[in-house]
Amino acid sequence: MTAVDTALASPAAVRRLAAKYGFTFRRSLGQNFLIDGNILRKIIHAAEISRADTVIEVGAGIGTLTRALGSTAGRVLALEVDKRLEPILQETVGEYDNVEIVWEDALKLNWASFRDRYGLGRAKFVANLPYYITSPLMINLFRQGSFLESITVMVQREVGERFTAKPGTKAYGTLTVLAGYYSEVEVCQIVPPTVFMPPPDVESAVVKFTIRPYEVETLDPTLFWTTVKAAFGQRRKTLANSLAASLKHLVSKKEVHDILFACGISPERRAETLTVRDFVVLANQLAAFVSKDAK
């Protein structure tokens, strides 16, 4: 097995680079750099990186995970939005010919277009994600990242628990349903704040999503996402009321009731009580109704 490059995973390395380049951490950009080589190796191991892999990283930072990926993967595309890090990354990952730094905002990307631009086939996504972009980025990856084999990310522990939440719990929501539809989810490691510089206020988790087709295919992926969003849009309301309020451009309240009854779902239930399969069946029934109504 190829040795993982952990040269930057130490407090001394971060301090040296920050001092040399006059770099100051920006909390607004979620800049908490990993300083523990063991955790770095566990991320690479969880992602099952090999020389056959093309890897996409978001949030290159000073290059800690980027170097580790460069030492183990065949090709690395590392996205970073903070141009202040350019001279640091030139020093820290310049020796890796298989690493390319992409200066773009990951939240503004269309991932299908990104795949085409860089001529990607299958790829893996590995990142120590800035907390503030986790939810919107993961939603985009699930919806646009059909070319991905897996997604392995360090996220805030609370968010990690939302990905694996059970129906009927407070944590269960849109992220849970999307993750469950597009992937098998595994929490690989709980990580304390002390392995970062500066340390965040909360624990983190390494979570792996193995992308796979769901047992029941959705007829209209966009409408599936619209349905899930609508259902959770007003959590305190009944499912019928939430859907009727958000989907009034598509269906009337009576039609919402009819669709729910056709699915065997009580209109009085709330969104968090539905399983992933329930949402697929509901979205497919809605798609069939909208299609029929349009004819």
pLDDT tens by residue, 5-55: 999 999 999 999 999 999 998 877 778 999 999 999 999 999 999 999 999
Q: Among the three residues 173, 193, 211, which one is the final residue of a domain in this structure?
A: 211
Three-state DSSP class for residue 22: coil
CATH number at residue 133: 3.40.50.150
Q: Among the three residues 182, 211, 240, which one is the final residue of a domain in this structure?
A: 211
Report residue 173's pLDDT band, with 50, 70 and 90 as the boundaries: very high
What does the pLDDT look like over 224-274, one tens digit per residue?
Answer: 999 999 999 988 899 999 999 999 999 999 999 999 999 999 999 999 999
Count of the separate structural domains present in the chain? 2
Q: How far apart are CA 67 and CA 65, in angstroms?
A: 5
Cβ proximity of 69 and 41 under 8 Å: no
Q: Are residues 207 and 247 in the same domain?
A: no
Q: How far apart are CA 101 and CA 76, in angstroms?
A: 8
Q: Are residues 158 and 278 in the same domain?
A: no
What does the pLDDT look like over 153-171, one tens digit per residue?
Answer: 999 999 999 999 999 999 9
Classify residue 40: in a domain, yes or no. Answer: yes
H/E segment holding residue 100:
strand 99-102
Which residue range is the domain that position 276 belongs to? Answer: 221-294
Classify residue 117: in a domain, yes or no. Answer: yes
Mean pLDDT confidence for 53-58:
99
Is the pLDDT reported for residue 4 higher than 90? yes
CATH number at residue 236: 1.10.8.100
- Tokens 């907390």 belong to residue: 131
Classify residue 1: in a domain, yes or no. Answer: no
Classify residue 4: in a domain, yes or no. Answer: no
Is the pLDDT reported for residue 184 higher than 60? yes
Cβ proximity of 233 and 242 under 8 Å: yes
Torsion sign, CA atoms 105, 108, 113, 115: positive
Q: Are residues 266 and 124 in the same domain?
A: no
Q: Among the three residues 193, 211, 229, which one is the final residue of a domain in this structure?
A: 211
Question: How much of the chain, in percent, has pLDDT values that exceed 90?
Answer: 92
Cis check: omega of the bond before 198, within 30 degrees of 0: yes
